[in-house]
Amino acid sequence: MKHDELQQILQNRFKGCPDAIIKRLMSISEAGLLDRDFASLPEDEKTLRYEKVYCPTEEEYNEINSMITELDASQKRLQVDYLRVSIILQDVECTAQNFDTAVRNGDFVEGLRELRVGLLAYYLIDDARKSFGFYGKDDEEIRELGRQLSPRTTFLAHMRNYISGHLDAVVLEKACQWGGFCIFTKDTMQDLDMSLFLINKYVLESAINCCIASKGDDKKEIGVDEITPLLCRFSERKNLRNDRLEKIILSAAKQSLTPYLPKLNPLTDFATLMETYGNEAKGERREAREMDKFIAHCYKDEKRELKDALTKGRDVLILIGPEGDFSEQEVEMAIREGFVPVGLGRSRLRTETAGVVACHTAVLLNED
C-alpha cells in the first residue's frame, strides 16, 4: 500500500487524533512490524525495524497525554449523565403515572399533591439540559434542543423553589389572601379532603401567578400599592364595607394575573391622613417625606397637570376627592402639608374615573 493511501486511511479511521499518533502508526506499518514473518526474523533485524518506528517528541507526547486525559474525563461525564438521565426518566414516568391514576380515580387532592411533588423530578431535567452544550459541540440540532428547553426549565426551577423544594412564605401569604375566604371557613376546615384540595389549589395558583409577575416589573394591575378611602367634608358615604371592597380587589388581582393585593386601609378622616402623610409625619409613615404627594381638585386655582408634575421612578401619593370635590379648606390644608395641587386634564371626571386616570398616568410615565 502506498504511503499516501495509508495516511488517508489512518486519518479517516482515527479522525481527530494528534498527528504524532498517525505518524507512529504509519511508521510501524512501513517498518514491517505488521508483516506476518516479523516474529521469525532474527533479533538484529527486529531491532533495525524497531529503530525505524517514529517516536513522538516531548511536546507531541504531552499533547497525546492531554488528549487521553480529556477522553477519560469525557467517559466519566458520559457515565454520570447516563445515571442522571436514567433516574430522571424513572421519576418523571412514575410521577406521570401516579398523577394520571389520581385524576382517573377522581382523587384531585392526590393529583395536586403528585403534581407539586413531581416538580422536583421535572426540575432535574434542567441538570440534563446543561449537558447539551457539551454533547452538542458539533451538533447544531442538539444545541437547538437545549435552547428550546431553556425557558421551560426556568419555569420549572421557579416552581420548584416556591412550592416543591421549598415552601416560599410569600406564595403561602398570597394563597391565604386569595383563598382564605373559602379555606378558613368552619365547613371547609371540618372536611379534610376539601381543605387539602383548596390548600393545594391556591398554593399552586399563587406560585404560577408569582412566576408570571416576576417576568416583569408590574406586580399590580395598574401599580397601586395601597388604597385609603377618605372621609371628607363633601363625602356622600360615612361608612364602608371593607369586606366587599377586599373581594373587588381580589377579583381584579386574579383577572390581571397578579399575585399582589394592594393594602386596603379603613375609612380615614382627611385631617388624620394629613397627620399621617404630612410634613410632620412620624413613625412608620416618615418615608412619606420622600415621596411625591399630590392633591387633585377642580378649583381654578393655580395648579399643574399631573403628567407634567410627576417624576419618573418616584413613589407617588395622589388624593382624589369625592363627587363634590375637596373643600377649599381641605385643599389649603393639604398644600400646607406638602401636597402639590394638580389637574387631570380638561374634562371633569367622576371620582372612580379620576383615580384610575391618575394611577395610569403615573404608570405610563414609568414605562420603559
Q: Helix (H, G, I), strand (E, B), or coil: what is residue 268?
A: strand
Confidence of residue 216 (pLDDT cuts 50, 70, 90): very low
pTM score: 0.44
From the list 172, 256, 178, the residue with the least C-alpha distance to 207 is 172
Q: What does the pLDDT read at residue 333?
A: 92
Q: Grid coordinates 391622613 are at which residue? A: 273
Question: Helix 19-30 vs helix 58-104: angle between axes, to the nearest 10 degrees?
Answer: 120
* Domains in the chain: ranges and CATH: 3-56 (no CATH), 60-166 (no CATH), 171-214 (no CATH), 226-366 (3.40.1280.10)
Q: Are 268 and 355 in contact (CB under 8 A)?
A: no
From the list 263, 267, 274, 266, the residue with the least C-alpha distance to 231 is 267
Asked whether residue 331 carries a pLDDT value surpassing 70, the answer given is yes
pLDDT tens sequence across 261-299:
677 888 899 998 888 887 765 545 545 556 789 999 888
Top mean pLDDT of 29-33, 84-88, 327-331 is at 327-331
